[in-house]
Amino acid sequence: NAGVTQTPKFQVLKTGQSMTLQCAQDMNHNSMYWYRQDPGMGLRLIYYSASEGTTDKGEVPNGYNVSRLNKREFSLRLESAAPSQTSVYFCASRDGQVNTEAFFGQGTRLTVV
Amino acid sequence: AQKVTQAQTEISVVEKEDVTLDCVYETRDTTYYLFWYKQPPSGELVFLIRRNSFDEQNEISGRYSWNFQKSTSSFNFTITASQVVDSAVYFCALYRGGADGLTFGKGTHLIIQP
């Protein structure tokens, strides 16, 4: 039972490079999310997708784009990485019902040098 | 706007002591959901508990207990007879419903010393 799978687990980028973080869930959940975690800041929502074909900005969307490719997959793209985007990124998914918890992937540790 | 405050940045106790992690939230919604997650040193986020705003019943699960008080907008978490394996960062989170994600507090780093 894989749950939420993120790739890669670690990545080092040079400033200005681009990359896509991949996320897939096998729980048939409608909603998917991307968070970033920085020391002392907790988790902050970057983007979310309530259902296939829809995406919305969260608290800290600048510098990112997302794609909800299908119900299973939700990718996060950094077009031109900056050192301020050094962080741990978590993908999560939820059943569409309100009374349910979010399930998280194992995280991607990204360093931009 | 929603907000979750975990005022305790770091707590250190000796094994077998009881410890309470504080969580205070702000929301204008009358219906909302509160969560606690654990993040052990390995880094994954582990769901611990969910509580609905209309259910103020406290809950006990083994050594863990949660005290939800709407009057003070608090949802505190107590570990009884702490163990070294409880060492982790604990996050309190608020969800208002709809398509939005969870709003997290900044976390409390709990250190249990042997």
pLDDT digits (tens, 9 = 90+) for A2-55: 799 999 999 999 999 999 999 999 999 999 999 999 988 899 999 999 988 899
Q: Inspect the interface and report whether the beta carbons of A58 and B9 lie closer than 8 Å.
A: no
| B98 in reach of chain A (CB within 8 A) | yes
Residues of B in contact with A106 (CB under 8 A): 43-44
To 5 degrees, how large is the angle CA A72–CA A74–CA A75?
Answer: 140
Q: Inspect the interface and report whether the beta carbons of B101 and A92 lie closer than 8 Å.
A: yes
Residues 6+ apart with CB under 8 A from A56: A47, A48, A49, A50, B99
Name the residue among A44, A50, A101 with its Cβ closest to that of B99. Answer: A50
User: Given the DSSP bridges, would you call strands A87-94 and A103-104 parallel, antiparallel or unpaired?
Assistant: antiparallel
Interface with B, mutate which of A43, A44, A88, A104 (most B CBs under 10 A): A43
Nearest alpha-carbon partner for A43 in B96, B43, B27, B53: B43
* pLDDT of amino acid A98: 63
| A92 in reach of chain B (CB within 8 A) | yes
* pLDDT of amino acid B57: 79
A1 — pLDDT class (breaks 50, 70, 90): low
Q: Chain-centre distance of CA A82, in angstroms?
A: 17
The answer on pLDDT for A96 being more than 90 is no
Name the residue among A42, A50, A103 with its Cβ closest to that of B107. Answer: A42
pLDDT digits (tens, 9 = 90+) for B58-100: 888 899 999 999 999 999 999 999 999 999 999 999 998 777 7
